Structure 1
Amino acid sequence: MASVYSSRLEKRKQWWKTQLREAEANGRGDSTSQRTNGKGLISGLDILQVRIQAERALRKAQKCQNERSL
């Protein structure tokens, strides 16, 4: 059971890391997969929101993983 949980946790962490990388790349304008908000390139505020969400999710995932390993 713990193995299944760890696998899901790792997948979730990787997904958030990917989101964070894409948001940062979009902010620099060097991503091959530029996302748009309907008006042009993704805005700085959108990048910040993705970064905050990703960092929170990664901290939460790490906390859960630490609690499970006790």
Structure 2
Amino acid sequence: MIKLIGEFLLSARKYLLWLKSPDQYVLGTPWGRRRPDSVPTGAHVASVRERASYWAKVTVEESWRAIKKDP
């Protein structure tokens, strides 16, 4: 019973700390990891953009071929 109360108080404390400063933490990262550590590097952002533009180009070409084939 005492262990259960202690765990509840610990989780409540973590929740209250999160409410106090939610903008300092990033969702989807391990507990306690702050935003500057989780920001992707410029190279990572560039590769993601390049991949996205490639897939957009492929999709446009495929849709153009489908329209061109129709009588």
Structure with more relative contact order (C-alpha pairs < 8 Å, separation 6 or more): 1
Q: Which protein is bigger by CA-based radius of gyration?
A: 2
Superposition TM-score tier, normalisation by shorter sequence? 0.3 to 0.5
**TM-score, normalised to structure 2's length?**
0.39
**TM-score, normalised to structure 1's length?**
0.39
